[in-house]
Amino acid sequence: MAFQILLNVLIAFTWMFLSVSFKPTTFIVGYILGLLMLFMLRKSLSTRFYMDRLWAVIKLGTLFIKELVLSNISVLKLILKPTMPIRPAIFAMPTVLEQDWEITLLSSLITLTPGTIVIDISDDNKTLYIHSIDFEDIDEAIESIRNTFEKAILEVSRS
């Protein structure tokens, strides 16, 4: 990914030198041309085309905003009920993520969405211990996190 961006910048500079004009606009035109070339050669590159990854990052961001709003509303509903029918619980969630930054990102996303908090990570970085405010079913809770955040993060980190 970093190599492709570097290549793209290099192409943009080459374009600037070819057209002998050193203005930001020329750089942008060269950069777009470089993008086009990389897009044409995307099958022969050793890693993924980096715009796909950028798109995955944007998707992860929008997913996070969506989950944030929805879970905020659900926690608000819980709090405003006069009987407060909360069922707190702590459960373990095995994760397939391996890199440090992936685990940190997943934990932060889980913690930032109300209703769930990551309490601890096991020593081998394979299991997250999560506290949930309104707990129904362990498999369901794990599945919901798996299908949203973990999938999106895997999509970003796939090389």
Partner 1 sequence: MKTNDLIIQTTTKVVFFIIFLFSIHIFFAGHYTPGGGFVGGLVMSSAIVLLMLAFDLKTVRDMLPFNYTVITAIGLLISLLTAAGSIYFNVPFFTHVYDYFNLPLLGETSIHTAMFFDTGVYLVVVGVTMNIIQMIGGDE
| Interface contacts to partner 1, rule CB under 8 A | 100-101, 103-104, 107-108, 118, 120-123, 125
**Amino acid residing at 25:** T
Which C-beta is closer to partner 1: that of 7 or that of 154? 154
Quick check: helix, strand or coil at residue 15?
helix
**SS3 call for 87:** strand
Which of residues 8 and 95 has its CB atom nearest to partner 1 in the complex? 95
Of 38 and 97, CB closest to partner 1: 97
Dihedral of CA 9/15/18/22: which sign?
A: negative
- Considering beta carbons, is residue 123 or 140 the nearer one to partner 1? 123
Q: Nearer Cβ to partner 1, position 91 or 129?
A: 129
Outline where DSSP puts E strands in the chain: 89-94, 116-121, 127-132
Within the chain, how many helices (H) and strands (E) appear? 6, 3
CB of 154 to partner 1, least distance (A): 17
User: Which tokens is 31 given?
Assistant: 């950069």
Residue type, 126: K
Minimum distance from CB of 158 to partner 1 (Å)? 20
At closest approach, how far in Å is the CB of 151 from partner 1?
21
Task: For residue 119, count CB atoms less than 10 angstroms from its CB and return exposed for 0-12, middle for 13-18, buried for 19 or more.
Answer: exposed
Q: Closest distance between partner 1 and the C-beta of residue 84, in Å?
A: 30
Q: What's the closest the beta carbon of residue 104 comes to partner 1, in angstroms?
A: 4
